[in-house]
Amino acid sequence: MRTDRYSIVSLLRETVRGHTGWKPAWRDAAPAARYDVIIVGGGGHGLATAFYLASRYGIRNVAVVEKGWIGGGNVGRNTTIVRSNYLLPGNVPFYEQSMKLWEGLEQDINYNAMVSQRGVLNLFHSDAQRNAYVRRGNAMRLHGVDAELLDAGTVRRKLPFLNFDDARFPILGGLLQPRGGTVRHDAVAWGYARAADRLGVDIIQNCEVTGFLTEGGRVTGVETTRGPIGAGKVGLACAGNSSRVASMAGLRLPIESHVLQAFVSEGLKPFIDCVVTFGAGHFYISQSDKGGLVFGGDIDGYNSYAQRGNMPVIEDVCEGGMALMPRIGRVRLLRHWGGLMDMSMDGSPIIDRTPRDGLYLNAGWCYGGFKATPASGLCFAHLLARDEPHAVATAYRLDRFARGAVIDEKGMGAQPNLH
Amino acid sequence: MRITCPCCGERGLDEFSYRGDATLSRPAGDPPLPGAGAEAWAEYVYLRDNPSGPHRELWYHGAGCRSWLVVTRNTRTHEILDTERAVNVVRATRKDAEA
């Protein structure tokens, strides 16, 4: 008998059987001739879109086409942080929707994604920064998001090993979002893929889109390395490759692809029990359940499709780490890697129709795509199913740049011009 | 990744700042009128080719000769294909336009 649903019962049954009954989590589907919806890109966002299309909008004749393999892109390359500590009205409801979906994710997809709401703590180092964080915390609370302002003493009790009395960047306190935390990123990809597959979605790996089928200007399918596939609607969720794929449909996007590096140290005994970010530079760190320190910083800052970065940013990230917690100075680096960031010009995403009929776009996630995965999937599914934006994603329009309605949460996109 | 500056020779990346796509040109008009041709302005400010492969881009050698450079670099491999001083590129373009 096939062990379909993961539960304590199936686990016990398989334990008795010597784990011989587990089946692949999803079928290795071959492309059919036609689908109602094709999602280009089998990353977290594409798989989530397919799952919500099938589970919430009843559209099950869906294919996800992926040029590589599931879990091989950014969904397995990020630093696993989830949070909804945003400031601007266009962003807060969207990321809070995402946080709520994270909280119910494991029940929704019947998969252990190790959602750990261990808290996200943003430290501040000056009076001005404290004021900015008070404002952000208040904006969050007005939107029903949890936020707590911690003074230096409270932070010191929580994380006594931080460099509190640094001459240049003393730690004066922090803004804590207790519901933020980390999620096992690979499990998110596998869980969404498995759940979508069980609802009838075809997940087609090693199938690269090489062009679009069109009929009288309308996109009616995709050309792929495994043959043409027809579709009622085509949704792009290609992250760093968005510009490349969109150019096949004759579109230029307000996006530059950049490289962001991330790092994991050797395994250590648990000592960091939340996500901590350094306010005086760009450095964020958490400790995985295996004990490795997972950390990162800025993008390298030049266009790149290479999925690897360079030394100056590695040095910069490590300097940030040493300024924040000097005790990690002798820890050895285990792995480091780079991923492609679809940097939009205002730092906020796009979930919208395109000027081409039948073609829909989900892109521009910059270096914050992972935390948005569930809401991005839900909102893109809503757009594909209903042809109108989801209530929490109305601001993420493609034409907002031309209209001057940019959402500049951090005041920077691909090119911050801060040097 | 190291960039060979035409003035200073091969130098480390941390001496340079990046300024993005070198093929963009400001909308015509001298001086360009804000509001005139809003679409052209939006395109210039926000839209990019963002190619995967050779990319002509501007770098500033701030910790060296302080020249602006036009670097041709493969964005898939980070291989630097060509480096020239931006001022020479501009002069060549003007000469072409006059000829």
Residue where the block lists tokens 């648990």: A270
The confidence band for B29, taking pLDDT boundaries of 50, 70 and 90, is low
Q: Please compute the mean of the pLDDT values over residues A206-222 and round it to a whole number.
A: 96
* pLDDT beyond 90 at A98: yes
Of A305, A311, A315, the CB nearest to B75: A305
Contacts of B71 in chain A (CB under 8 A): none
- By CA distance, what is A405's nearest residue in B? B42
* pLDDT beyond 60 at A418: no
Which pLDDT score, from 0 to 100, does residue A203 have? 97
**C-alpha closest to that of A181 among A137, A270, A104, A116:** A116
Q: Please compute the mean of the pLDDT values over residues B6-11 and round it to a whole number.
A: 96
Please check whether residue A375 is in contact with residue A56, taking contact to mean a CB–CB distance below 8 angstroms.
Answer: no
Residue A42 C-alpha, separation from nearest chain B C-alpha, in angstroms: 20
Q: Could you tell me how many residues make up chain B?
A: 99
* pLDDT beyond 50 at A302: yes
Please check whether residue A249 is in contact with residue A353, taking contact to mean a CB–CB distance below 8 angstroms.
Answer: no
- By CA distance, what is A416's nearest residue in B? B19
Q: Is the C-alpha dihedral spanning A43, A46, A50, A53 positive or negative? A: positive
Of B14, B50, B57, the CB nearest to A257: B50
Pick the CATH number of B2-24+53-98 from 3.30.2270.10, 3.90.1010.10, 3.40.225.10, 3.30.70.60: 3.30.2270.10
* pLDDT beyond 60 at A180: yes
Residue A31 C-alpha, separation from nearest chain B C-alpha, in angstroms: 27
* pLDDT beyond 60 at A417: no
Quickly count: other Cβ atoms within 10 Å of residue A86's Cβ. Answer: 22
Q: Please compute the mean of the pLDDT values over residues A278-302 and round it to a whole number.
A: 94
ipTM of the complex: 0.92
* pLDDT beyond 60 at A2: no
Cβ partners under 8 Å of residue A44, min gap 6:
A74, A75, A185, A188, A189, A192, A369, A370, A373, A377
Span A337-370, pLDDT tens digits: 999 999 999 999 999 999 999 999 999 999 899 9
- By CA distance, what is A310's nearest residue in B? B1
- CATH node for A26-84+86-111+185-254+346-403: 3.50.50.60
Contacts of B42 in chain A (CB under 8 A): 401-402
Cross-chain residue pair B42–A306, CB shorter than 8 Å: no
* 3-class DSSP string for A209-238: EEEEEEECCEEEEEEECCCCEEEEEEEECC
Cross-chain residue pair B49–A315, CB shorter than 8 Å: no
Pick the CATH number of A120-180+257-344 from 3.30.9.10, 3.90.950.10, 3.10.450.50, 1.20.1250.20: 3.30.9.10
Q: Count CB pairs under 8 A between chains A and B.
A: 74
Cross-chain residue pair A304–B13, CB shorter than 8 Å: no
Span A399-413, pLDDT tens digits: 999 998 989 887 666
Cα separation, B44 vs A56, whole angstroms: 40
Domain chopping of chain A, boundaries: 26-84+86-111+185-254+346-403, 120-180+257-344
- By CA distance, what is B43's nearest residue in A? A402
Residue where the block lists tokens 């000769």: B65
Contacts of B61 in chain A (CB under 8 A): none
Which pLDDT score, from 0 to 100, does residue A419 have? 36
